Each structure stands twice: as C-alpha cells, then as structure tokens.
Amino acid sequence: MLLPAQSETRADDLHRQIADAVHKHGWAEHDAFLPPELVVTLARECAALAAAGSLTRAGVGQGAARTLQPEIRGDQIQWLQAGQSDACDQYLAIMETLRVGLNRELFLGLDEYESHFAFYPPGASYKQHRDRFRDDDSRVVSVIVYLNADWLPQHGGALRLHLDDTADAMGARDILPVAGRIAMFLSADMLHEVLPATRDRLSLTGWFRRRV
Ligand code: OGA
Ligand code: MN
C-alpha cells in the first residue's frame, strides 16, 4: 500500500511527463494510466451497455447540423454521468486530478471534463477529422483511454495521428487501443482517425474543455 504522499508524488510525475509531451509535440501516449482492475470493470460496463442495446449511434457535426453517417463515423456511445457507477466515478476522479495537473504544468485553463464510452464493432471506423467544432472552441485537449485486453497489432483499430498534418500514412503515428493506455492531443490541431478493427474496440473518449 502506498502512502498518500508517495502516490501523490507519482501522480505529479506522471502528469508532468504527459504535460511535457503535449507541450513539446502536441500529443502524448502513456501505458498503464489506469489501474488494471479499473480497466476491467470499465470494459465490462461498456460491453454490457453495448450488449443491452443501450448505446447510441454517434453523429457527425454539432447541434442542428448533426447527422448519422456510419461510413464516416461508426461508433456507438454513452456519455458518462457522475454517479452512474463506482467505476465511472473513480475514472472521473482520476481525470479530475489529470485536469488539475495539466493546468498546473501548462496553464491551459481547463475547466471541465466530458467523456463517453465508445464502442466500435468490427469494421467500424472514424475517418480523418479534428475534434474542435468550427463554431465552438471549448474543447482543448482530447483524451482517449482504451479498455481492450490482449489487443494485438493484427487486430487493427489504431488511433492514427497525422502528426505532419497531411492525410497520408507517412508521418503518421499509430496508437493501438491497448487496455489501460491513454492517448491525448490538442483538439484543435491534430488531424486523426480511427482505423477499422477485426474485433470490438472499447474506449472512454473525452475532452478537457474551457468554459466559453
Ligand atoms: C473521437 C476519436 C479516437 C479513438 O471519438 O473523436 O477520434 O482512438 N476517437 O477512439
Ligand atoms: Mn476525434
């Protein structure tokens, strides 16, 4: 059992590492970001929601312009609410410490975090896009935490970050959706996509936002 002071130091180090990468490169990746037991519980919760038909097909665009275009975006989602489960509350508490850590390191002025479960059935993808809406710059940092045990490269399903801002695969960085891994990037800048997978692909996707 870690003493609180020790675990706080570890969280501070982790947040500093992540913040440094976001600051230098505009993105970060870190393995074993969440405790493995929490990842298992969150994965079960997401799979149960999918099996029960409780997820909603995700749309493209915002407000009245929102449409379903499964060939562009094929995931199904459910927004997290505080109090929906102990596991979700634990997750939100961890993300709150990350929000505070990022603000301390980078002065980003992040006010809040919103997050949804995302479930991509086999073959589903999300074509190249940026996460910030055209007329709404409240999303500052995009964050995805992956929930998939035993994910192998041959399963596909990478998050592809187009680091050079061109559409082709040259100069892109692929991040596999491995259980416990976190990927983050600046929402306004990073062109990215989700490649199709051969198996169900589960994650928690979210955004640190500024109140506007
Ligand atoms: C998104 C997104 C990436 C991922 O939901 O906007 O780009 O790896 N997700 O799931
Ligand atoms: Mn995105």
- Architecture, CATH, for domain 4-60+74-209: Sandwich (2.60)
- Residue 6 Cα to ligand 1 middle (Å): 33
| Alpha helices in 52-195, H assignment, sequence order | 86-106
Q: Measuring from atom 1 of ligand 1, which residue has the nearest CA?
A: 205
Q: CA 141 to CA 46: how far, in whole Å?
A: 23
**Cα–Cα dist 164/14, whole Å:** 26
Q: How does pLDDT run across 135-157, given as a tens digit for each residue?
A: 788 999 999 999 999 999 999 99
pLDDT level of residue 2 (50, 70, 90 thresholds): low
Contacts of 57 (CB under 8 A, 6+ apart): 68, 70, 75, 76
Rounded to the nearest angstrom, the distance between the alpha carbon of 131 and the centre of ligand 2 is 5
By CB atoms closer than 10 A (0-12, 13-18, 19+), residue 131 is: middle
H or E element: which one contains 32?
none
Please name the residue that has the structure tokens 């099996």: 51
**Pocket of ligand 1 contains residue 80 by CB under 6 Å:** no
Q: Are 81 and 114 in contact (CB under 8 A)?
A: no
The response to whether residue 126 sits with its C-beta less than 6 Å from ligand 1 reads yes
Q: What is the pLDDT of residues 157-185, one digit of tens each?
A: 999 999 999 999 999 999 999 999 999 99
pTM of the predicted structure, to 2 decimals = 0.94
Over residues 67-84, the pLDDT tens digits come to 899 899 999 999 999 999
User: 């709150």: which residue's tokens?
Assistant: 96
